[in-house]
Amino acid sequence: MNINYVLRKLFHSLITVLIVITINFFLFRIMPGDPFAMIAKAGNLSAEYKESLSALYGFDEAFHIQYLKYLRQLFSFDFGLSFKYRKPVLEVIGNRLVATLLLAFFAQIFAIVAGAVIGTISAAFRGRKIDVMALGFALLVYAIPAFWLGIVLVLFFSVKLGAFPLNGMVVAGMTHPTTWAYVMDVGRHLVLPVITMGMAIMGGYAIIMRGSLLDVFTEDYITTARAKGFKRRDIVIHHALPNALLPMVTVIAINMGFMISGAIQTETVFSWPGIGRLVYEALMARDYPVLQGAFLIISITVILANLIADILYGYLDPRIKYD
């Protein structure tokens, strides 16, 4: 791969990160509401204590001074202290990010496999009843809001059937569990959130796979394979599918970033202790340091996912112009 292509993509990503950092700083300082007033009111504290908190966090200084201090702290990986949790922001976010990455990873796997299968079946039987059913199902799940689907799954599988846990990541009060028992418990708690989150993007994967396969089916080598009498299954699996997967690569990488940023709805419905729920809680408490840290990490994740997609796509498709 041309090194200039990679360096150019890295440079563009770096510029984007710097822009995001700047927006991230100013956005939360022009939001309505005074976090220190809320803290003082909740604890029946005096106005003097509120002013001392504002001075402690540097909110009484000019914007440009705050911005320079913010940049210096970022480069030293100091995201400040949480107003609500009274802990370093990185510690608060780190605990939640692991849970979100776990959820996003398995939701992505579920969506890729299910979407690829549905899209392949739809394309292989184009114009038939099974194509209409598969495409209709893909469009339906693509249009369903994640929070609505999550509520339906909770009411049916958790409340009515009792087949899966209602919320959380592990059973509350579990004492001295073995490693296997803990893994199984987390797995049971993962099922419904994974389905909810995966279904939100599965339809998109199915539609992309169907369209990509239909394009590949018009290629000369597919026509040659048909003329030689190859079975339809062999043509689809061994000839068409490998070439149809290329457009999926970019979408998969991009979706991984947006799944992390869009986890708020799913994590709120299932009380999943991830970064999405943390953002919701921090927003309600006007916890600016946590909000800044969370949005910055989420933004960098999306930018990194796009960078990986660009580089990977350029590597897989030699037709991409590097210069």
Domains observed in the chain? 3-84 (no CATH), 90-316 (1.10.3720.10)
Question: Which residue type, as a one-letter code, is found at position 85?
Answer: Y
155 has a pLDDT exceeding 80:
yes
pLDDT of the residue at 142: 84
Confidence (pLDDT) at 323:
47
Per-residue pLDDT tens for 186-197? Answer: 888 899 999 999
Q: What is the pLDDT of residue 165?
A: 84
128 contacts 240 by C-beta, under 8 angstroms: no
Whether 94 shows a pLDDT value over 90: the answer reads no
pLDDT-derived band at 176 (thresholds 50, 70, 90) equals low
Global pTM value: 0.77
Strand, coil or helix: 36: helix
Q: Which of 147-151, 221-225, 247-251 has the lowest mean pLDDT?
A: 247-251
C-alpha closest to that of 208 among 244, 157, 155, 172: 244
Is the pLDDT confidence value at 312 over 90?
no
Residue 238 has what pLDDT?
A: 81
* pLDDT tens by residue, 12-47: 999 999 998 888 888 767 766 666 665 556 555 566
Alpha-helical regions (H) of the chain: 3-27, 35-42, 47-56, 63-75, 89-124, 129-143, 146-153, 179-216, 220-227, 232-234, 241-244, 246-261, 264-269, 275-284, 288-316
Tell me how far CA of residue 188 lies from CA of 79, 101, 168, 181, 267, in angstroms: 34, 17, 10, 11, 15
Q: How far apart (Å, rounded) are the C-alpha atoms in residues 213 and 219?
A: 10
Secondary structure (3-state) at 262: coil
Q: What is the pLDDT of residues 41-74, one digit of tens each?
A: 655 556 666 666 666 666 667 777 888 888 888 8
The mean of the pLDDT values for the chain is: 81
